[in-house]
Amino acid sequence: MNMKADAISDIPTERLHLAAAYRLIAHFGLDDSIFTHISARAPASEAEHGFLINPFGLRFDEVTASNLVTVDLDGTIIQDTFGKGINKAGFTIHSAVHAARPEVGCVLHTHTVAGVSVSSMAQGILPLNQWAMQFHNRVAFHDYEGIALDLSERERLVADLGTRNVMILRNHGLLTCGGTVGEAFALMFNLERTCKAQVALLSSGAALNHVSEELAEHTASQYESMTRDRGNPDVPDPEWEAYLRLALKHYPDLAQ
């Protein structure tokens, strides 16, 4: 993959990929002003048990590899070149998952119109199409407790998440996680499209074409089989590589 390797070879992969994810979320219109957040495990050279997250106050299209903040699981800021700290709610959510799930390399949280809409529907995601069937019986739910400023919520959040990589935060938004940034991003991209399609379908008033439980489960299993290695950083991920090229093409400053 030729992406001006001479210019980015000195940037830790974790920082480059996370900055690209921020730009891509903004590129596809999934950001929410300076709010919501994506995190990735910090390079070992920066923190043994820390993670990277956006500086509070920057738009997602302003995030770069170098201005990402390094924070440990106790909330101690290790590196912050922007100097404004991090979103407190972001720390609550992301520290909870990174502490409980050592295999998770990235956690991605959004508030989009479609995502918040589906998070406010009692039935959650309906298996009405191929996108949606990817998530059939594979979504965790966490009840709304207000803005996530109470650190005691972390225990309940990770208990609800369990071993799953997709969660609907009821009346709030969406959350995905993965072994890599690419896996968490792909899950969120497909989850967002699923929510958009569901809102459009339910708004249309048209009769819905339901599929059987067996077919929905079969399709979900097919997705799992096709993406089994996506969260392994040692296995090439052609879809994420394509998105990374897109990010670097349109936003080369993310590598600063």
- Report the helix count and the strand count for the chain, using DSSP H and E: 9, 8
Between the CA of residue 40 and those of 68, 71, 94, what are the distances in Å? 10, 11, 9
Q: Domain boundaries in the chain?
A: 11-251
Please write the tens of the pLDDT for every residue from 213-252.
999 999 999 999 999 999 999 999 999 999 999 999 999 9
Write down the mean pLDDT value for the chain.
95
Please write the tens of the pLDDT for every residue from 191-217.
999 999 999 999 999 999 999 999 999
Strand residue runs (E) in 134-254: 140-142, 166-169, 173-178
Please write the tens of the pLDDT for every residue from 11-50.
999 999 999 999 999 999 999 999 999 999 999 999 989 9
Model confidence band, residue 10 (pLDDT cutoffs 50, 70, 90): confident
Q: Mean pLDDT throughout 65-74?
A: 97
Please write the tens of the pLDDT for every residue from 129-151.
999 999 999 999 999 999 999 99
Q: Please say if the pLDDT value at position 9 is more than 70.
A: no
Q: Mean pLDDT throughout 166-174?
A: 98
Q: How many CA atoms within 13 Å lie on the side-chain side of 254?
A: 32
| pLDDT for residue 43 | 94
Q: Mean pLDDT throughout 161-175?
A: 98
Please write the tens of the pLDDT for every residue from 111-130.
999 999 999 999 999 999 99
CATH superfamily of 11-251: Class II aldolase/adducin N-terminal domain (3.40.225.10)
Q: Please say if the pLDDT value at position 3 is more than 90.
A: no
What is the chain's Cα-based Rg? 18
% residues pLDDT > 90 (the chain): 95
Greater model confidence, 2 or 134: 134
| Residue 202, token pair as written in the block | 């339910």
157 closest CA partner among 93, 107, 95: 93
Query: Which residues, other chains included, contact 28 with Cβ-Cβ below 8 Å and sequence gap of 6+?
Result: 189, 192
